[in-house]
Amino acid sequence: MLDCDGFVPPPASIGSPSLGCYLAWLLPRLHLSTASIYLDLMNSASAEKETLYPVPLGTSPLQLAGIIQQIIQAEINGRLCLSAEQGRQWNLYFQVGRIVWASGGDHRFRRWHRVLRQLNISPASIQIRERILPAQWEHLVLTVMLKRQRIQKHDAIAAIETNIIEVLFDILQAAPYINQIACNIVHKTIGDSPVTILGTPDEFISKARLLLKEWQATGLANYSPNLAPVPISQEAIRKKLSPQLYVDLATTLTGKLSIRDLAASKRQSLIELSRFLEPYASDRLLAFQPIADIPAPTPVQGLGDRSKPSHPTSAPLSASPREARSDPSPGPLVICVDDSPQVGYILEQVLMPLGYQVLTMQDPVEALSTIMRRKPDLIFLDLIMPVVNGYELCSQIRRVSALKRTPVVILTGNDGVIDRVRAKMVGATDFMGKPVIPDKVLEVLQQHLAYEPMVMNPTTSSSLAAV
């Protein structure tokens, strides 16, 4: 049984309920037809077809969790698709009664980027070849990377668990607005899994419910973590903070990163960051606005990780980076070499929704060969890095004939005249101070690249009622 505050178990007389017994107890309380739903479920198991179950608006997170848990634990393989108002959908994939992957929601691709960041993988190093993406393509990418030993099994398990719990958190928070569950039951597995068995629905739902309770305790219960915080009054915030903290806050709370994005970029937990933001929200110094998801990956011709040659047991690798960019849809390729992961993360989240391709690297030695191979349209170089600094790397770049005209922008926290002169002497095109400010980044790109950024419509995310 799901162990959550306020959850009322079925009568003891039912004992350890089967799916049918549980639905017979629960569904009348949700004003649903017990007999028809249970019969439909059994028929769908044998016919391998999708069955739709209406869910009354206002269903509590605990009621919804109970339905999800019992359907999945029927020891079957398949998919649950949960639909909410405004067209939002989430998918839970399960094998032998255990959840193996989850996707959907407002920010499917932002979430995928956070999964890769958790694994210390640059999203731009992953290229999709299939023109029609399989439903669980993210899961397949992780499988390929695991087979090629790009990631370790325990890291894959942690990343998949983080992904599943985040999706379940969003489902439970949106429970009052979910109006339908579609159950697609099949008798075969969904494909290779990086791990044979993951957690039970009870494990994952309990963790998601606990995280939701902690989120509600911070005072941000009426907001989704997929919303982006933005200051209402810069001056009022300035008066409350030290100059250094104000600069850090002003350069990150730009309305372009969600609360989850910010937590990932700062390597903080969602709850830690929410506790920091809550006082400013309570004082009406912050607003929360919906932001668009980043674009889906542009398929080239295959699926996988470009870093190593393909193996017979793995999905094929992509075409070369230059060939991949022959497709007119991808925008300019921007490479950022900076030993701070936060700088690279911010650039990805700001530029990718506008159509730019972004590759971030922290090792300057490795970066030089990548730059020579990828031939980017613009390069950001951190000035102070271990082993090789930005001046030395810029000088090496300018020795490559194909890169002599590529814009190179030096990043530094010391915006002095001497540094500017030296940057020009080694062939740098421009100079940009730190901390990285999104508007300044866009200004630099518009100055040096002839590219009209994509205009992304905001998502339908909105403030959610307390659950």
- Reply yes or no on whether the pLDDT at 134 is more than 70: yes
173 plus 112 within the same structural domain: yes
User: What pLDDT does 455 receive?
Assistant: 57
For the ranges 166-170, 197-201, 259-263, the maximum mean pLDDT occurs at 166-170
Tens of pLDDT, residues 297-340: 776 544 434 333 333 333 333 333 333 333 445 789 999 999 88
Domain extent at residue 234: 228-289
User: What pLDDT does 247 receive?
Assistant: 73
What is the average pLDDT value for the chain, to the nearest integer?
77
Using alpha carbons, select from 276, 316, 279, 277 the residue that is nearest to residue 300: 316
What confidence category does residue 49 fall into, taking pLDDT thresholds of 50, 70 and 90? Answer: low
389 plus 411 within the same structural domain: yes
pTM higher than 0.75, yes or no?
Answer: no
385 plus 276 within the same structural domain: no
Of 61-70, 260-269, 324-333, give the lowest mean pLDDT range: 324-333
Residue 295, domain member (yes or no): no
- Reply yes or no on whether the pLDDT at 93 is more than 80: yes
What confidence category does residue 249 fall into, taking pLDDT thresholds of 50, 70 and 90? Answer: confident
User: What pLDDT does 327 receive?
Assistant: 42
What confidence category does residue 97 fall into, taking pLDDT thresholds of 50, 70 and 90? Answer: confident
User: What pLDDT does 294 receive?
Assistant: 87
What confidence category does residue 380 fall into, taking pLDDT thresholds of 50, 70 and 90? Answer: very high
Share of the chain above pLDDT 70, in %: 75
Residue 453, domain member (yes or no): no
Q: Between residues 68 and 465, which one has the greater pLDDT? A: 68
- Reply yes or no on whether the pLDDT at 458 is more than 50: no
- Reply yes or no on whether the pLDDT at 437 is more than 60: yes
User: What pLDDT does 229 receive?
Assistant: 92
User: What pLDDT does 465 receive?
Assistant: 33
Point out the domain boundary residue: 289, 321, 340: 289
40 plus 88 within the same structural domain: yes
User: What pLDDT does 61 receive?
Assistant: 92
272 plus 366 within the same structural domain: no
User: What pLDDT does 27 receive?
Assistant: 56
213 plus 232 within the same structural domain: no
- Reply yes or no on whether the pLDDT at 412 is more than 70: yes
Point out the domain boundary residue: 236, 260, 289: 289
Residue 153, domain member (yes or no): yes
The answer to whether residues 464 and 223 touch, using CB atoms and an 8 Å cutoff, is: yes
Using alpha carbons, select from 459, 377, 388, 467 the residue that is nearest to residue 105: 459
50 plus 197 within the same structural domain: yes
130 plus 155 within the same structural domain: yes
Point out the domain boundary residue: 217, 248, 277: 217
User: What pLDDT does 75 receive?
Assistant: 61
Residue 347, domain member (yes or no): yes
- Residue 78's contacts (CB-CB under 8 Å, 6 or more residues apart) are 93, 94, 183, 184, 185, 186
Q: What is the CATH number of the domain that holds 421?
A: 3.40.50.2300
40 plus 132 within the same structural domain: yes
Residue 5, domain member (yes or no): no
Report the pLDDT averaged over residues 184-204.
69
133 plus 249 within the same structural domain: no
What confidence category does residue 419 fall into, taking pLDDT thresholds of 50, 70 and 90? Answer: confident
Number of domains in the chain: 3
> What is the spatial distance between Cα 263 and Cα 137, in angstroms, rounded to a whole number?
25
User: What pLDDT does 310 receive?
Assistant: 34
Report the pLDDT averaged over residues 422-449.
87
User: What pLDDT does 4 receive?
Assistant: 36
What confidence category does residue 20 fall into, taking pLDDT thresholds of 50, 70 and 90? Answer: low
24 plus 104 within the same structural domain: yes
The answer to whether residues 391 and 423 touch, using CB atoms and an 8 Å cutoff, is: yes
Residue 310, domain member (yes or no): no
169-189 as b/e: b if 16+ CB within 10 A? bbbbbbbbbbeebbbbbeeee
- Residue 174's contacts (CB-CB under 8 Å, 6 or more residues apart) are 84, 88, 464
φ, ψ for residue 19 (rounded to 5)?
Answer: -60, -40
104 plus 190 within the same structural domain: yes
What confidence category does residue 188 fall into, taking pLDDT thresholds of 50, 70 and 90? Answer: low
Residue 327, domain member (yes or no): no
Residue 436, domain member (yes or no): yes
